[in-house]
Amino acid sequence: MKALNVLLFDGFTTMDALGPAEALSRALDGELKCYEIEYFSATGGLVGGSTSAKIWTRKLSEIAKFDVLLVPGGFAARELAHDGEFIAALGELSRRHEYVIAVCTGSVLLAKTGLLDGVEATSNKLSWQWATSEAPSVRWVRAARWCVSGKFYTSSGVSAGIDAALGFIADMHGRDEAQRIAVTMEYVWNSDKNADLF
């Protein structure tokens, strides 16, 4: 079973983290789950999201398997984008993980590590001006629902994270599995990563 490590911080957007995590939690290889989901933060302990939900996290130093890293966004990302210690830790984690999925303004946090320099990425359209100005070396794609650049998946805002997660599942486990999961979630999957209504 692969590890899905979700990186949380106070003020993360709840759906950015839990929407993709829900989709990935349903991925199956036969009857076996593909992903074990764990939540981490810089200091561990309870972390509060945008809906006042609090999630218990382990410390980053406790990550044991480096398969898939999920990075949500949120209003707090605007401050974290200038937190050198956080960005350095995210850069190290991102280099060690086989894949990284950054949702909404989480893509800006990933971009601040320099790992997206010169490659295509997208972000929340309501925060577009801020996102693109924070990391001008990224090849930002406004029209994209999500982008894939090597091991990096970046999505547009909030619900787009679910579409990107299903896209990741399609790439890893086949389109039929992604569509099956969408049906079990009663979710209409926007499966065209190049078409974003927003």
User: Is residue 193 included in any domain, yes or no?
Assistant: no
Q: Note the pLDDT of residue 171.
A: 98
Closest to 6 (Cα-Cα) out of 14, 17, 16: 17
Q: Is the pTM of this model over 0.95?
A: yes
**Domain residue limits at 64:** 2-185
Q: Note the pLDDT of residue 146.
A: 98
Question: What is the domain-level CATH number for residue 160?
Answer: 3.40.50.880
C-alpha–C-alpha distance, residues 92 and 140, integer Å: 23
Write out pLDDT tens, residues 116-154: 999 999 999 999 999 999 999 999 999 999 999 999 999
User: Is residue 191 included in any domain, yes or no?
Assistant: no
User: Is residue 64 included in any domain, yes or no?
Assistant: yes
User: Is residue 198 included in any domain, yes or no?
Assistant: no
Buried (b) or exposed (e) across 149-161, using 16+ Cβ within 10 A? beebbbbbbbbbb
Q: Note the pLDDT of residue 128.
A: 97
User: Is residue 192 included in any domain, yes or no?
Assistant: no
Closest to 73 (Cα-Cα) out of 34, 15, 130, 33: 15
Q: Note the pLDDT of residue 116.
A: 99
What three-state secondary structure class fits 105?
Answer: coil
Q: Contact 181/22 with Cβ under 8 angstroms?
A: no
User: Is residue 86 included in any domain, yes or no?
Assistant: yes
Give me the number of domains the chain comprises.
1
User: Is residue 195 included in any domain, yes or no?
Assistant: no
Residues in the chain predicted with pLDDT less than 50, given as ranges, are none
User: Is residue 19 included in any domain, yes or no?
Assistant: yes
